[in-house]
Structures are given as structure tokens and as C-alpha cells.
């Protein structure tokens, strides 16, 4: 974590799960519903950009997923590129 950005890759070796849960609690995360047609491309670009997204549920036209809050604010270029509209359903975390 030398660049100051939340990254799970560097913490898995130090205690992994507990430390990751602490960072998610501290920095926050959002439950997002994605609207649009290019959802698969959205996830591919997020994966390429190393954004922290988990618990993806897709049913017909509805797609729900959790996104780490610091990563959510950096998704603007991917949202514009894929024409997917993220709608925040729920927000959790301490830092406002």
C-alpha cells in the first residue's frame, strides 16, 4: 500500500481476511444496482483496472454488486465508456 490506495493484494499475506474486512469497514463500500446494456464490459474494465468488486448477482436485467467506496468514486471513466448507470442502494463504512 505504498501508493496510498486501498489494495487487497498487499494485505492478504499479513492476516488476510480480518485486515481486508477492517479496511472495507473503515473506508466503506456500497451496494450498487447497475442499469444499462454493457454490464459485462463494465465488469471486464473494472477487473482490468483492479477495482475491488464482489458478490455480483445478475438476474435478467438487474445486476447487483458491492464496490469499495474509494473505487466507486474512480469509476467515472468506465461508466462513461460503457453507458452503465450505477445506482447506490446501500452505503456502509466509517469515513464520510
Taking 70 as the threshold, does the pLDDT of residue 4 lie above it?
Answer: no
- pLDDT band per the 50, 70, 90 thresholds, residue 19: confident
Helix ranges (DSSP H) in the chain = 17-27, 39-48, 69-72, 76-82
pLDDT tens-place string over residues 38-95: 999 999 999 999 998 989 998 888 899 999 998 999 999 999 999 999 999 998 876 6
Question: For position 33, what pLDDT does the model report?
Answer: 95
- Nearest of 32, 31, 12, 34 to residue 23 by alpha carbon: 12
Mean pLDDT within 2-6: 45
pTM score of the predicted model: 0.74
Amino acid at each position: 500500500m505504498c501508493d496510498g490506495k486501498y489494495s487487497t493484494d498487499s494485505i492478504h499475506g499479513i492476516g488476510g481476511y480480518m485486515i481486508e474486512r477492517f479496511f472495507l469497514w473503515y473506508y466503506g463500500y456500497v451496494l450498487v444496482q447497475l442499469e444499462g446494456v454493457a454490464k459485462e464490459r463494465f465488469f471486464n474494465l473494472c477487473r482490468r483496472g483492479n477495482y475491488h468488486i464482489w458478490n455480483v448477482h445478475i438476474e435478467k436485467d438487474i445486476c447487483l454488486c458491492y464496490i469499495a467506496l474509494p473505487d466507486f468514486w474512480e469509476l467515472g471513466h468506465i461508466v462513461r465508456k460503457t453507458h452503465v448507470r450505477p445506482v447506490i442502494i446501500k452505503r456502509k463504512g466509517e469515513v464520510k
